Amino acid sequence: MEKRILDPHSYAYIFNELDPFITMVFVLIKPEAVYIIDTYCGSEYMAEIMADIENELKGKKLYVINTHFHWDHVWGNPYFEQTPIIAHYLCGTLMEESWETDLSEEGQHFKGEKRLVKPTVLIEDAGSWENEDIYIFHTPGHTRDGLSVLDKKSDFLYVGDNLERPIIQIYENNLDVYTDTLNKYVQMNPKQIHAGHSLAITLTEIEETIQYIDALKTGKPLELGDSFCQEIHESNQRYAAAEE
Ligand SMILES: [Zn+2]
């Protein structure tokens, strides 16, 4: 685990066990509360982070946010059994549906208590959760339960897996909805954009992602010239063409 200080009150904890992907857990330290964005692959990883921020947590409320249901973003939830966990209302159901398959396919990455702990504070379709410091809103795309988090003080936006370098991963036939979400990010024009597996995404990269989705909509074959990207692209094509 590596800690990257994005600004004095915003940290990225970077994990590299899921090579070739890096995976982030973000921690936002606010005057009244501390926010943890995603819980990576288990409570043992979360214990390391919580030990690191022990002093900054004193006397503050704690909130956890699951940006979406994928295992590499929620398996650390058991650490936060007593903490409000904010997510889209479908997140818990989708976690349940994929729990057994994910454990059998990816279980070697699990570090800690193997238990399914579902979110407790639920956001509706097109809904949001807000206080003085933080705005959390529904941003379907990579998955239908996607949430994004805007830190209103730093003007940093956290987008889960809706943006990813070098290529996004699509799991649903929802390209128009995905484009709407990305256009929303462009309009917000935040100071920094951070994603679940990529730091410091630029507006240009969002525009390129929108163009990529537009190309997918045409259904024409696309040569990406790189075998890793090509493989993900072909999976994206299959999902994008799937029956709803
Ligand atoms: Zn994901």
Q: CATH number, domain at 19?
A: 3.60.15.10
Distance 41 CA to ligand 1 centre (A): 12
Residue written as token pair 């819980």? 39
Task: Note the pTM of the prediction, 2 decimals.
Answer: 0.97
How high is the mean pLDDT of the chain? 96
Closest C-alpha to 168, from 195, 189, 128, 186: 195
Decide if 85 contacts 66 (C-beta within 8 A). yes
- The rounded distance, in Å, linking the Cα atoms of 23 and 25 is 7
Provide the domain count of the chain: 1
Q: In the prediction, which pLDDT does 244 show?
A: 65
- The rounded distance, in Å, linking the Cα atoms of 230 and 158 is 26
Tens-place pLDDT, residues 146-155 = 999 999 999 9
Give the three-state DSSP class for 66. Answer: coil
Q: In the prediction, which pLDDT does 65 show?
A: 98
DSSP string, 145-190: T-EEEEETTTTEEE-TTSS-SS-----SS-HHHHHHHHHHHHHH--
Distance 59 CA to ligand 1 centre (A): 33
Tens-place pLDDT, residues 64-117 = 999 999 999 999 999 999 999 999 999 999 999 999 999 999 999 999 999 999
Burial, 239: exposed, middle or buried (Cβ in 10 Å; 0-12, 13-18, 19+)?
middle
Q: In the prediction, which pLDDT does 11 show?
A: 98
Query: Which residue segment(s) compose the domain that 78 sits in?
Result: 2-241
Residue type, 172: E
Distance 70 CA to ligand 1 centre (A): 5
Distance 7 CA to ligand 1 centre (A): 25
**Helix runs in the chain, H state only:** 43-52, 54-57, 71-74, 91-106, 175-188, 203-218, 227-241
On the question of pLDDT at 225 being above 90, the answer is no
Closest C-alpha to 199, from 49, 22, 7: 22
The neighbourhood of ligand 1, an ion, using CB within 5 A, equals 70, 161
Distance 220 CA to ligand 1 centre (A): 25
Tens-place pLDDT, residues 13-52 = 999 999 999 999 999 999 999 999 999 999 999 999 999 9
Decide if 12 contacts 199 (C-beta within 8 A). yes
* Percent of all residues in the chain with a pLDDT value above 90, rounded to a whole number: 95
Mean predicted confidence (pLDDT) in 159-183: 97
Question: Higher-confidence residue: 243 or 6?
Answer: 6
Q: In the prediction, which pLDDT does 242 show?
A: 86
- The rounded distance, in Å, linking the Cα atoms of 35 and 30 is 8
Residue written as token pair 């679940």? 196
Distance 26 CA to ligand 1 centre (A): 15
73: tokens are: 């973003």
